[in-house]
């Protein structure tokens, strides 16, 4: 039995408290990771607040995990003690269904096992990265390239892969015009990745407050969606729109910005159903799609891509005592652009 220090929450309206949690003893293919940094994702907040369905409290959130391997099971072949590694939004899947076999474990037909608020194959609740240690089967561990600092690596495990995967799938590349809706944790990664893939990148943000950052991160242009002229001016412009916003938007207005055969991909997940006029899609054979994180192989590919192109999130490192305050600030978009917990302060 391995005990880990953690920060847990006991209910939807509760503050974080110190906790000790138990990690399983290493199975033959398990890796023990000493967590160094854990990013704070908006999903952590939705889950901690009970907004995404029933939660078995106490809950330790965190699915942007970066750390060092400190022990390995007897049959582990991919990692050794001292390796720099990461864990993202899932820690296991069936491994056997058609989607798992394709390396798309996030879409496992039996459901992937989320890093927290799930139940693992031993029947135990999963607890996430706001903790000192975690045990994960080696197939769900990725390697962090040497030239990415561990604190900056953490948000890549969710925000990075969530935006990388649709940009790859819908082929952001030279000659393509890509718009990123929302300039937050996800958006500021999408801008950098799409730019590095060679696309012409436009940010569509509510205001121009973060324009300088957007341009500095690689956007070619930046527009305020609060200005109605934006939608007139950019009508029919984009091959691909990545929508990172989890609030309900006027989807028809955004579809009108797509070219013939253009696609709008939602990675933000609004809690309420959206309404749209199908004519906005039919008119120019447009598509509306969704995308959820990425598979393990693709997550490794994303990390290697970020290393090669010197891409990193902009982060604000906080101590474990500052999680509640950080949550409040995320909810009012007062973060540039991701909070990362220094777990040595647990």
Residue whose CB is less far from Zn ion, 173 or 292: 292
Residue whose CB is less far from Zn ion, 153 or 281: 153
Alpha-carbon span 4 to 44, nearest angstrom: 19
Of 214, 253, 216, the C-alpha closest to 237 is 253
118 DSSP assignment: S
93 binds Zn ion (CB under 5 A): yes
Q: Which of residues 250-289 bind Zn ion (CB under 5 A)?
A: none
Residue whose CB is less far from Zn ion, 61 or 214: 61
Alpha-carbon span 335 to 340, nearest angstrom: 11
Q: Which of residues 4-23 bind Zn ion (CB under 5 A)?
A: none
CB of 70 to Zn ion, least distance (A): 25
Residue whose CB is less far from Zn ion, 210 or 338: 338
Residue whose CB is less far from Zn ion, 97 or 173: 97
Contacts of 65 (CB under 8 A, 6+ apart): 33, 35, 37, 38, 86, 87, 88, 115, 128, 129, 134, 154, 157
Residue pointed to by tokens 């909810």 = 331
**Cβ–Cβ under 8 Å, residues 80 and 291:** no
**Residue of 9, 37, 43, 239 interacting with Zn ion (CB under 5 A):** 43
Alpha-carbon span 9 to 61, nearest angstrom: 9
CB of 76 to Zn ion, least distance (A): 21
Q: Provide the β-strand partners of residue 136.
A: 31
Report how far Cα 302 is from the mean position of its chain's Cα atoms: 12
Residue whose CB is less far from Zn ion, 16 or 116: 116
100 binds Zn ion (CB under 5 A): yes
Alpha-carbon span 8 to 16, nearest angstrom: 5
Size of the site for Zn ion (CB under 5 A): 8
Q: Could you tell me the maximum CA-CA distance found in the chain, to the nearest angstrom?
A: 62
**Residue of 8, 9, 35, 108 interacting with Zn ion (CB under 5 A):** 108
**Residue of 94, 276, 307, 317 interacting with Zn ion (CB under 5 A):** 94
Alpha-carbon span 298 to 161, nearest angstrom: 8
Stretch that binds Zn ion, among 72-80, 108-116, 129-137, 163-171 (CB under 5 A): 108-116
341 binds Zn ion (CB under 5 A): no
**Residue of 97, 215, 224, 289 interacting with Zn ion (CB under 5 A):** 97
291 binds Zn ion (CB under 5 A): no
Residue whose CB is less far from Zn ion, 211 or 314: 314
Alpha-carbon span 197 to 310, nearest angstrom: 12
Residue whose CB is less far from Zn ion, 22 or 98: 98
Rounded to 10°, the helix 296-308/185-196 angle is: 70
Stretch that binds Zn ion, among 48-56, 87-95, 166-174, 296-304 (CB under 5 A): 87-95
Contacts of 329 (CB under 8 A, 6+ apart): 335, 339
Alpha-carbon span 261 to 282, nearest angstrom: 10
**Residue of 21, 41, 134, 180 interacting with Zn ion (CB under 5 A):** 41
Residue whose CB is less far from Zn ion, 87 or 179: 87
**Residue of 158, 199, 296, 340 interacting with Zn ion (CB under 5 A):** 158
CB of 112 to Zn ion, least distance (A): 7
Residue ranges binding Zn ion (CB under 5 A): 41, 43, 93-94, 97, 100, 108, 158
């Amino acid at each position: 039995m391995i005990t880990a220090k953690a920060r847990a929450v006991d209910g939807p309206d509760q503050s974080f408290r110190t906790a000790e949690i138990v990690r399983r003893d290493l199975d033959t293919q398990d890796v023990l990771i000493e967590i160094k940094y854990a990013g704070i994702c908006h999903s952590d907040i939705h889950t901690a607040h009970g907004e995404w369905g029933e939660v078995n409290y106490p809950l330790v959130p965190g699915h942007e995990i970066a750390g060092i391997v400190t022990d390995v099971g007897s049959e582990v072949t991919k990692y050794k003690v001292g390796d720099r590694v990461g864990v993202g939004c899932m820690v296991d899947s069936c491994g056997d269904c058609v989607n798992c076999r394709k390396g798309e474990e996030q879409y496992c037909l039996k459901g992937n096992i989320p890093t927290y608020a799930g139940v693992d194959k031993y029947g135990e609740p999963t607890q996430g990265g706001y903790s000192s240690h975690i045990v994960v089967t080696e197939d769900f561990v990725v390697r962090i390239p040497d030239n990415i600092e561990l604190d900056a690596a953490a948000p890549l495990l969710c925000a990075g892969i969530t935006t990388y995967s649709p940009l790859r799938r819908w082929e952001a590349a030279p000659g393509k015009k890509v718009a990123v809706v929302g300039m937050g944790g996800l958006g500021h990664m999408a801008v950098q990745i799409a730019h590095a893939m060679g696309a012409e990148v436009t940010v569509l943000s509510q205001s121009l407050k973060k324009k300088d950052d957007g341009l500095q991160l690689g956007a070619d242009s930046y527009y305020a969606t609060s200005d109605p002229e934006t939608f007139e001016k950019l009508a029919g412009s984009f091959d691909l729109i990545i929508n990172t916003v989890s609030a309900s938007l006027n989807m028809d207005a955004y579809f009108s910005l797509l070219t013939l055969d253009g696609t709008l991909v939602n990675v933000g997940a609004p809690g309420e159903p959206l309404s749209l006029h199908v004519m906005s899609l039919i008119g120019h054979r447009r598509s509306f799609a969704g995308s959820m994180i990425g598979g393990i192989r693709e997550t490794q590919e994303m990390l290697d891509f970020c290393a090669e192109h010197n891409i990193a999130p902009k982060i604000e490192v906080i101590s474990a005592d500052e999680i509640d305050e950080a949550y409040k600030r995320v909810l009012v978009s007062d973060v540039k652009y991701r909070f990362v917990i220094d777990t040595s302060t647990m």
